[in-house]
Structure 1
Amino acid sequence: MKKKVLLFIVFISVFANAQILSSTLDKKTLALGEPAVLKINIDNLQGKQVNSAAKNSLLPFHFEGIKDSISLKEDSYSRTVEFAVFDEGKYTIPVLEFKVGDKVLKTIPYEVEVVNTAKKGDEISDIMNNKEVKLDVNDYWELYKFYILGLIALIALIIIIYYFIRYSKRDKNSPKIVTNKTLRDLENLKKKKYIENNNYRAFYIELIDISRNFISTQYKFPADVLLTDDLISFMKNNNTISKENEAIVEDVFLRGDLVKFAKTFPDKETMQNDFKGIQDFVKRSTKDIEFEKVRSDV
């Protein structure tokens, strides 16, 4: 008998010092979007700290939180979570843990069934009447500013690309650049020492190729496809190349044809004079272009 009384006293003592957790769920069957309330209470805290999940993070994914309030007193803790579910089906509120001091207390799990109470043919009414909202310029700007800025950026990019392509092409074919490139080609020809080695055939073939490419690019003549006689006739009828330059081109090209078909054998002095003549023609070509531009403007 004494042992039973002692055990009862110990049980009462332990129970009196223990924290008590209780939880209630007001509804276990919900309509879509219908609010439900879960309450958790812990009594006999004895001033101990309660740790649990942060606000609006206590319930799993499908449970949309509406309100999450915590009331903490010296000897009691109360948490009320209002939620709703917007998908049909059965969902479980799992065991929730609350740490009181060094002790972990757990709730019981709850199963919630969510049903669609709407019937076919039911009239669905808005909770509130639609309101007409007038938007001003700032409102429209906030709505569409990223589209407008993106469109402006796209237009600017297109303009930049257009002018880049246009002027890069123009620069590559500008009279000055074409002239300098051809002068470099002539210098490379000179370094091959065809004149010094009396290799007149190779010299004239390359000299005339360089000259034809130059005339095609600088004057926009079809010099690369026309025969010598046709090119000379084309130059004289076009009047773009000065008479002085025409005479040099005609003289060198005709001599080049004779050399090519072994009808004449020029000496070194003649080859040097022809090289110098073409070189001077290339240098003077910009004056022809400038004069032609002024003439076309007039």
Structure 2
Amino acid sequence: MIESYNIDTIKNKDKFNLIKKYGLTQFDSGNYTIPRQKIIIGDKTFFTDSLKVQVNNIVIDSTKGLYEIKPIIAVDRSGSDWLKYLLLISLIISLIGFLIYWFIWRKKPLTEEQQIALLPPYDRAKLALKKLDESNYLEHQNLKDYYSDLTFIIRRYLDEKVYDRALESTTDELISRLNLLKEGNRVDISKEDIKNLENILKRADLVKFAKSTPDIELAKIDRDTIDLEIDHVKEALPEPTEEEKLLDQKYREEQARKKKRNKIILTISLGVFLLIATFIGFSLKYGFNRVKDTIIGHDSKELLESNWVTSEYGFPPVTISTPKVLKRVELPIPDEYKASVNTTSFVYGSLLEDFSIAVNTTTFKQAPEGGIDVEKTIDNTMKSMEEQGSTDIVTLNEKFTTPNGAEGIKTHGSLKFDRFKSGNFEVLKYVMFHFTSENVLQQILLTYPDNDIYADQIMERILNSVELKQAEE
């Protein structure tokens, strides 16, 4: 078969005709028979008629002479889907990696506010005074906002370098604290500096809360005084000791490590979230067990999705599709039967493994009187399985017809088997098919795990592939 075309639907009055076409090819001339095809509609099974096809030789015009053999033509190898999936997955991973780098690990340019925040308190206070000069408060006589910003500058500087509650303290509380620090020799600031700060802070309080309106020139003088007092406070502060510098360095290093650790935690958390989200998404689409088995691995699933082999075994040939090629083995034949029968066996696996497939063909040199006893053959196979350690064998028999119309007996059921001789018996399913002609017995035996959806699919695919050919064909 070279192509399977889509089903064509044609309405014929009050009915619909479904037409399925196949493209076939055959390179050898002769007469061929297309066997009956199995069609399943709902829960009913139908078979088409067999077709006889004659393939004729090509008519050759001998008057034109003979031509040279055409040279070998190189063809492009078609790409497989796995390469597309690999490229898609690589693209997605690269995109996620780039986004994680860009938003988490990339050294982002600092904003103006961030750059100012990194400045030392002294430089930050001086810069704030410069920005205050650039404002239009005095031009618009907006003294309230002007004094608010001015006192905030000196309070924040004192909060960071002298007294850590300067921002939240009242003017009297702050001045009282500065005097205590001076008396305790904690800050070498003069009484004049403290007095200047007290005057400016109280004037600012009057402007903010009592709507006082001092002269613009006085506001400028207060600004210059604050600028000078910042310098004096800096000079009054003791130089940090080596121990303090070391502690400050350790603090910065610890902060850097903490920042890096947070980035790592965020990256891992994001990666885990994406993995879980991807797992849930695929589970909703394809089912939890299928996704789990794809990630972790499942022997039955790997067999189901492997490259299957369709081949003919024995003579008359049995055509069957299997996940693995069946290997020919020589089975022992009792001495009393060696002269009367020939056997061929092709096997994959055994009862000791998860799957086993066997195709046996027995040819009798002389047809038995009364025909081949299939029941006896089934009993002998059951005894053989019992001798290998099988117990609690459940047996059901029914008629079976292959897709090409060959009829036989189907025997199926379950059994228990201790593969590892540990006392733990596993439940296995088995299916046997027996087909007979005048002097030929053909047997197909399959065993597989119970409660395994992939094993059930494997068996169904194998059973639907079984075809028998008569010896004369």
TM range (shorter): 0.3 to 0.5
Q: Which has the higher helix share?
A: 1
Higher-RCO chain (CA-CA 8 Å, sequence separation at least 6): 1
* Structure whose alpha-carbon radius of gyration is higher: 1
Give 1 or 2: higher strand fraction. Answer: 2
TM-score by length of 1: 0.38
